[in-house]
Chains A and B, each alone.
Chain A
Amino acid sequence: MGIKKWTMPTYQLTINAKKHRVDVDSDTPLLWVIRDEIGYTGTKFGCGMGLCGACTVLLNGQPIRSCSTPVSAVKLTDKVTTIEGLSAGNAVQEAWIEAQVPQCGYCQSGQILAASALLASNATPSDEDIDNAMAGNICRCGTYPLMRQAIHAAAAKIQKTKKA
């Protein structure tokens, strides 16, 4: 069994505001492109079926499951944001640190991106809004109450910054 050489199609992607070229099969999930080809390992593999949300990234600001999104479905003009692409010192991550949310931490990139998308579209989410927006992201450590607290705190901080 010698080393084989294959030709693969080339895809161009915009991830965290940077352009990347990858040579992968068309059905390769965006998750594995982000992790193994480009090297942003903050995006996690959890279930492979879009059930747990560990692989959540933002596609043009909307949370998607990168484990179930083939690379061929993403255009160069699409803006993909991973946890590494959030701006430093943003209110959501700061609230997460303040509330000391993570335990094992494995699901937290996906949780933070889902929360960021929620706050971008709903500046003052109710508990029910949070339940609905975050229901796709499982946390086996059960950080749900702390995440809810952090989302409310981030919302309040963003409102305060806007007023000022």
Chain B
Amino acid sequence: MNTSRRDFIRIGGQSAFILALGFSVTGKAKTLQKVTALGVEINPYIIINEAGKVTIFNPRPDMGQGTYQSLPMLIAEELEIPLEKIDIQMTDGSARFGSQMSGGSSSVRTRWIPMRTAGAAVKEMLLQAGANRWKVSITDCYAKDGFIINRVSNAKLSYGELVEEASKLPVPQKPRLKTWSEFTQLGKKSFRPDVTSKVDGTAIFGMDVKLPGMLYASIVHSPTIYGKVKSFSADKAMGVKGVRFVLKTERNFYHGPFSPDVELNQKARAKSEAIAVVAESYWSALKGKKLVQAAWSSEGAAESATSQYFNAAKAKAQSEGATYKDAAVGDFAKALQLSDYKIQATYQTPFMAHAPMEPCNATVFVQDGKVEVWAPVQGPDGLVAELAGYLGFKPENVKINVTFLGGAFGRKAYYDYVLEAAHISRQVNAPVKVIWTREEDIQQGPFRPGMISAMQGGIDNQGNVLAFEHRLNGASIMANVFKADMRGKIDPWAGEGISLEDSPYAFPARRNSFNWVDPQMPILWWRSVYASTNVFAQECFMDELAHEGEKDPLDLRLHLLKDSPRFVAVLNKLAEISDYRAKRKAGKSIGIAIARSFASIAAHAFVVEKQGAGVKISQIYAVIDCGFAVNPDNIVAQMQSNLVYGLSATIKNEITRNHGVIEQSNFHDYAVLRQGEIPDAVIHVMQNEEEPGGVGEPGLPPVAPALCNAIFLATGKRVRTLPLDLSSI
């Protein structure tokens, strides 16, 4: 296992002797490995050089959810080095780093053990090197703040002084991980290393990338999303100062062409045509864009409307659909038949745009069979595969530089905008920066799918719930992003937030089912995805059953969740901080909702009071159980974030489409919450030593149902279609 100095120097472009440690991902089992020779495919999580500089490679792009800190901190904790002494580098998408996708609130919970293990292994190697140097037992040494310290003599050696010897030692495969009580960084208030640069304007987002010789491109997209260019005139645009090229380009979707031929949809990709204006400055490109005269042909999906989609979904809701195994209990039909009262309700949620503050943009240089990208993307590994396939290049000739993401919420996991920049760069032989306008961001998708939830419940004359059914009717991300054939099948992801694990109400009989409806629109994950639509219907209908059975909504939930102690603890904490059982004056009510999603449980309480023809939100309370709280301050911040994002989607905005055209275009008609439009919430993070769950999304799903349940109790009006207008209920 001896390694020549030269090998170390070659790897990672480091100028000094280094210890690089990571996981081999080539074999079946992920084993810890050193960089021992050229060609060994490992994903180096940690590099320590002779100067003692520690570099940690971060495989999860930061879009505001805090991964820039949270993942390196897992290593730093075990390695006994303060986070501020660490250089953090984002991974470049190459396969040796394994999965690099920020999504599904998965970063900390999936890397919790692997990253800590890597840090602990390096620490053990450094400890052993120190022990060898001093000829003492390893137990006579400890690590602190980047030094190995000899307990007996109090001598100390820096990690840099020991790295050469440590790198020659075998890698411990099962290093001891610290216990909860030994943590000095995790679970404590800590400063995120990206904050200062985001306060003084020096943080580099995709929008801020500038390369020598770079040209700027603005794109005229099809007004109907899927149109083809019949003809266009570039004359006026070419007359704009600084405009260099006006050329045809294309937009690639992940879904097929919405053909009745399902096999064709699984093979082919839908494409639309577009016109790019390429200029020496972005303003010139934008001016030129407004002067391009184009005629479009639109047919099929390019003519569709969201109203048609919802009508189709409501029609589908009449049939039972394919049943989810993860929520099946008893014989629903029989239990419903035996119920004293049957209750039915249909809930509708709209399509949504993500509208992150930073519109989509990408800087791409295609040159000599290679491509390099500088862009805000959620998963550089997925982008490598996309670009390699699209350009016909080998994956090793695709390099991704991940910048900070100015928000994403799912949108920047769809790389259509990067492919556009590649298509244009290849044509003009220069680095090209494509910047979408806000109008394109709102009007071109991909969108969160709107859904129809058809609910049925049966109760006995004591108010006990005997039967519960949730029929999902709508679009499938598995079909429209991953080309699965959804005819007569369930989309397993579409059932999130309402499975037995996520919504463990002890109903004697229960059924969730799915009816697929083709959306004729590009769709994608949107913060908390299907949990954002499902939980609205699930938790509002719980309140409908409570009302019909004359039960208190909290008591009904506590009763049905009595075998799920973490849910009970969350509800009890919510009741305590919100003073749930307090008598409130007439017209003022408290509504609650609870759901587990992305492995964490969140519950919210909204207090509303009647105001004119509508209601006003007077207070919000929120509780999350996300297991061990890795960064408590950031968990509170993410809860606040979910309340704002979720409430915008509940009371402010929706995407509608008519004759192929999205009817909203910018923040005037796709409004979002602003300062002063939401009361500061009281937020409680449960303290426990369970494995960490997700944080970026679980706070969103209970927002809409908690508000709507409060509205019903205050006004007697049941809101079943979102968005709602608070001023007119």
Contact = CB atoms under 8 A, between A and B. Distances in A.
Interface of A: 1, 3-4, 6, 8, 24-25, 27-29, 32, 35-37, 39-49, 51-52, 54, 82-84, 86, 93, 96-97, 100-109, 112, 127-128, 130-132, 134-148
Contacts, number: 197
28 contacts: A24-B283, A25-B241, A42-B200, A42-B202, A47-B667, A51-B666, A52-B667, A97-B191, A97-B199, A100-B191, A100-B195, A102-B64, A103-B65, A104-B405, A105-B195, A105-B199, A105-B203, A106-B356, A107-B357, A131-B676, A139-B644, A142-B641, A142-B645, A143-B640, A144-B644, A144-B675, A144-B676, A148-B675
B245 A1 contact: yes
Contacts of A42: 200-202
Interface residues of B, number: 68
Nearest to A41: B208
Contacts of A47: 438, 666-667
Contacts of B644: 139, 141-142, 144
A106 B205 contact: yes
B404 A142 contact: no
A45 B435 contact: yes
B409 interface: yes
Given A6-B242, A105-B404, A46 B357 contact: yes
Contacts of B357: 44, 46, 52, 54, 104, 106-107, 138-141
A135 B647 CA distance: 17
Contacts of A137: 674-675
Contacts of B64: 102-105, 141
Nearest to B674: A135
B643 interface: yes
A119 B644 CA distance: 25
A143 B192 CA distance: 15
Interface of chain A, helix or strand or loop or mixed? loop
Contacts of B399: none
A1 B680 contact: no
B406 interface: yes
A102 B634 CA distance: 10
A103 B281 contact: no
Contact of B675 (A3, A46, A105, A130): A130
Contacts of B681: 145
A138 B637 CA distance: 16
B135 interface: no
A140 B244 contact: no
Contacts of B205: 44, 105-106
B242 to A, nearest CB: 7
B395 interface: no
A146 B637 contact: yes
Nearest to A92: B199
Interface of B: 62-66, 191-192, 194-205, 207-208, 210, 216, 241-242, 244-245, 281-284, 286-287, 355-359, 404-409, 435, 437-438, 633-634, 637-638, 640-645, 666-668, 672-676, 678, 680-681
Query: What 6 A-B pairs are tightest by C-beta distance, nearest first?
Result: A42-B201, A142-B644, A131-B676, A106-B406, A105-B198, A104-B64
A138 B672 contact: yes
Given A28-B281, A104-B408, 9 more contacts: A28-B283, A36-B281, A41-B208, A44-B358, A96-B195, A109-B201, A138-B357, A138-B667, A139-B357
Nearest to B247: A1
A48 B287 CA distance: 12
B675 A135 contact: yes
A105 B196 contact: no
A49 B666 CA distance: 8
Contact of A104 (B356, B438, B675): B356
Contacts of A24: 281, 283
A140 B675 contact: no
B207 A44 contact: yes
Nearest to B65: A103
Given A46-B357, A47-B438, A142-B643, A104 B404 contact: yes
B199 A108 contact: yes
B8 to A, nearest CB: 36
A97 B196 contact: yes
Contacts of A1: 244-245
The listed residue with most B CB atoms (<10 A of its CB), out of A35, A45, A135, A141, is A141
Contact of B201 (A32, A51, A83): A83
Nearest to B641: A142
A106 B675 contact: no
A104 B409 CA distance: 11
A48 B358 contact: no
Nearest to B189: A100
Contacts of B355: 140
A104 B195 contact: no
A24 B681 CA distance: 47
A100 B637 contact: yes
Contact of B359 (A29, A45, A83): A45
